[in-house]
Amino acid sequence: MAGGKIRKEKPVRGAANHHQGGVSFHKSKGQHILKNPLLVDSIVQKSGIKSTDIILEIGPGTGNLTKKLLEAGKTVIAVEIDPRMVLELQRRFQGTPLSNRLKVIQGDVLKCDLPYFDICVANIPYQISSPLTFKLLAHRPVFRCAVIMFQREFAMRLVAQPGDSLYCRLSVNTQLLARVFHLMKVGKNNFRPPPKVDSSVVRIEPRKPLPPVKFKEWDGLVRICFNRKNKTLGSIFRQKSVLSLLEKNYKTLQALQLSQNNVSSEDAEMEVDLASLGDGIVATEEDERDDDDMEVEDMDDIANEKYAFKEKILGILKQGDFEEKRSSKLTQVDFLYLLSLFNKAGIHFS
Would you list which residues are annotated within the binding site for S-adenosyl-L-methionine? 32, 34, 59, 80, 108, 123
* Omega cis (within 30) before 141: yes
Closest of 169, 255, 56 to residue 65, by C-alpha: 56
Annotated binding site: 32, 34, 59, 80, 108, 123
CA separation for the pair 93, 67 (Å, rounded): 8
Contacts of 55 (CB under 8 A, 6+ apart): 49, 69, 72, 73, 74, 75, 76, 77, 117, 118, 119, 120, 121
CA separation for the pair 200, 93 (Å, rounded): 28
State the Cα angle at 300 between 294 and 303, rounded to 5°.
Answer: 145
Task: Give the CA distances from residue 235 to residues 79, 218, 228, 238, 279, in Å, rounded to whole numbers and listed in that order.
Answer: 46, 20, 9, 5, 46
CA separation for the pair 200, 274 (Å, rounded): 68
Residue type, 241: S
CA separation for the pair 250, 247 (Å, rounded): 5
CA separation for the pair 34, 189 (Å, rounded): 9
Q: Alpha helices, DSSP H only, in 139-283? A: 152-159, 169-177, 215-225, 233-236, 240-261, 265-277
Contacts of 339 (CB under 8 A, 6+ apart): 213, 217, 218, 221, 349
CA separation for the pair 230, 214 (Å, rounded): 25
CA separation for the pair 310, 214 (Å, rounded): 25
3-state helix, strand, coil in the chain (%, to 5): 50, 15, 35
